[in-house]
Chain A
């Protein structure tokens, strides 16, 4: 298989990588760029643990080819905090104990951030539907909803 050279912007930084034509963006992020925040829960679009933004749109990075990132802008969990200052969503997940094992958390944070950018004041139902593609085996979801809503409130008054 002929390798492909790709230039993209990841979390604001210009990056270049070489990947195989059938390699997913998730594998590129994790294995070639050292960004291991996005997780592989299923590899088939069902769990959302690999969520990233691609040109501003929330996607499963396991369903995107690395080669498709040519010229694109990718946002991952690693780009969410501002230096040492956690994003309000990250802080809220800690405050509300909205995680246990933490495997689902990076994907849920990326997905929740994308929701609040589109809709800063969602209802609980809207949060639940938006996050329906993010599975969590540990928390039972309620605390995740509380944490997102509390962060949304703080972000609205910030």
Chain B
């Protein structure tokens, strides 16, 4: 195994392009190091991207924020403006692991590791966040929702890596929230999870919404049919019941020691309802 620490994104792309063996990008390393230790991967080359300028920065852009791919959960959580604009995204990222893991873990790594239970991903999908990707053919932008491809898999082409994640501007009276179910209060993997992002009009009626679910299908899933149940409503009982039913209907979960299919299917609906209510109050309406 070799270790490289490129100084620019182009240098990284060139290194990756000419490598014939297995490559692992290293951001926070909280998945990579565990996989190395377990012998699950034996890369020929580790590419540490943390020294590339801008990759550890959060920059305001077009009313939103560009989050460098190597920004850790702790750094993100300390950024008051990002937290104010996208509280649901930040709370998802902050649920990853312990204080020590937060010191290293990144949203980009969480996404590219490809876990269906990745805590930062539903919030990013609900936020309609966009990944900036560097590759052998230059740079491209891609919605986060289009990156997960199955457990441990992404749609990134060979040699491609994220340089940043863009969180867009949002209209006034918007809010988002992320909730997961775990059997204890800390340090566990989501059994089911839901993120809701919504915008209200002046009358307190939901004018736009996005709902994303985690840990209930082979990938994090955007569920437009669930968003449709609450658009046009003030989150009355009927709308909440329809939201819950639509989320449960969108599930295709596994059965394991951490949760049965029935449990995950039911709980994800409850989580979506609660997340919608939190997002609604963050958008400025009492419920």
Contacts and interface: CB of A to CB of B under 8 A. Distances in A.
Partners in one complex: yes
Interface of A: 1-2, 4, 21-22, 24, 43-46, 48, 51, 54, 57-60, 62-65, 67-68, 70, 111, 114-115, 129-134
A65 B3 contact: yes
B34 interface: yes
Contacts of A64: 29, 33, 104
Contacts of A134: 98
A58 B29 contact: no
Nearest to A46: B187
B101 to A, nearest CB: 6
A65 B33 contact: yes
Contacts of A70: 5
B33 A45 contact: yes
Nearest to A60: B100
Given A22-B36, A60-B100, A131-B99, 6 more contacts: A21-B3, A62-B37, A65-B3, A67-B5, A68-B48, A129-B99
A107 to B, nearest CB: 9
**Which of B26, B97, B99, B103 is most buried by chain A, counting CB atoms within 10 A of its CB?**
B99
Nearest to A135: B187
Interface in B1-49: 1-3, 5, 26, 28-30, 33-34, 36-38, 46, 48
B72 interface: yes
Interface residues of B, number: 28
Contacts of B98: 45, 48, 132-134
A130 B99 contact: yes
Contacts of B236: none
B45 to A, nearest CB: 9
B33 A133 contact: no
A58 B103 contact: yes
Contacts of B74: 57
Nearest to B187: A132
Contact of B100 (A43, A129, A133): A133
28 contacts: A1-B1, A2-B2, A21-B3, A22-B1, A44-B33, A44-B34, A45-B97, A45-B100, A45-B101, A48-B100, A54-B103, A58-B100, A63-B28, A63-B100, A63-B101, A63-B104, A64-B29, A65-B48, A67-B5, A68-B29, A111-B99, A111-B100, A114-B99, A130-B99, A131-B99, A132-B186, A132-B187, A133-B98
B139 to A, nearest CB: 26
Contacts of B26: 65, 68
Interface in B65-124: 72, 74, 97-101, 103-104
**Which of B2, B26, B28, B104 is most buried by chain A, counting CB atoms within 10 A of its CB?**
B104
